[in-house]
Amino acid sequence: MSGTVDTRAKPAAPAVGGWAVDLVLLGAIWGASFMFMRIGAAEFGALPAAAVRVTVAALFLVPLALLRGQGPAMAQHWKATLTVGIFNSGLPFALFCFALLTLSSGLPAVINATVPMFGALVAWAWFGERPGGSRIVGLIVGFAGVALLASRSAGFHTGADPDGGHAALWAVLACLGACLSYGVSASATRRFLGGVPPMASAAGSQIGATLFLAIPAIWLWPARMPSLHAWLAMIALGVVCTGLAYILFFRLIARAGPARALTVTFLVPVFAVFYGVVFLGEHVTPWMLGCAVVIVCGVALSTGLVTLGRRARSTG
């Protein structure tokens, strides 16, 4: 409520304050998703785990959307929301679950920080928003950070196990594919779902993701019933990390735009690494931290949060 009063006096401050809390909360929630995906994928398998996640999310979101009178909006924009759901949920969730069969939960979260870079590339291709010199430098720096991270994690260094190296390489590539999918989704949301209520977008997208993953999940369903522990992880993934999170995410896009909304990926690795160390006993190496710094610097440049030389010119 205080934001409305301040908006008249200081337009910029309330705009930041209005979405900053959602940004931090979303980072904490999505950071936990990597831990839950690792737990669930180990017993369900990659595609069934992703399918359970979006199905639980759809069962949670659709009744809420209908109760809030969003049924007409969902019906009107059903093609767009279902399509966005494939790129914003179904495909990236499946790719991350596949990667987490091999990698610790912190590493995919660090790679996930490249989402704004892919978002900038997709926006360039889709909307003609050509990045300036600083942003191009940022893209190069960011992807160099990913390459450095992959070189040590994916077994390119001397003495690495060949089989484990190939598995990790495919896992890293899957993470990058998920990040590209998120970038496509952000621009698609901007193009086709502008003005659509966040609840309708979130619910419709999870229906689309569920339909997309249904047949592969049934085909690959595990022969042995997963444990209660795995089911609880998937329910948390569906309700909190997907259902509630996507309401926040679409609201962020509506309030702050896709570029700012994608900066949540700066926060996700921090929370994901913390959860992995505390709850899963994972270890963080200095190499991983160094590469994460390189990636974050690249993302900051590629998204325009930091611009090379601008201050120097403006002060002269």
**Concatenated DSSP letters for 78-147?**
HHHHHHHHIIIIIHHHHHHHHHTTTS-SHHHHHHHTTHHHHHHHHHHHHH-----HHHHHHHHHHHHHHH
Which 8-state DSSP code applies to residue 240? Answer: I
Which 8-state DSSP code applies to residue 221? Answer: -
- Residue 192, judged by CB atoms within 10 A of its CB (0-12, 13-18, 19+), counts as middle
In the numeric block, the tokens 């009744």 are attached to 63
Listed in sequence order, the residues at least 6 apart from 302 whose beta carbon sits closer than 8 Å to its beta carbon are 116, 117, 120, 131, 135, 136, 138, 139, 141, 142
Report in angstroms the alpha-carbon separations of 59 from 79, 156, 194: 19, 43, 24
All residue ranges of the chain with pLDDT < 50 are 1-15, 155-161, 311-316
- CA 78 to CA 236: how far, in whole Å? 26
Give SS3 for 156: coil
Number of domains, the chain? 1
* pLDDT score of 55: 97
Helix and strand element counts for the chain (H, E): 17, 0
Q: 86 is in which domain, residue-wise? A: 2-315
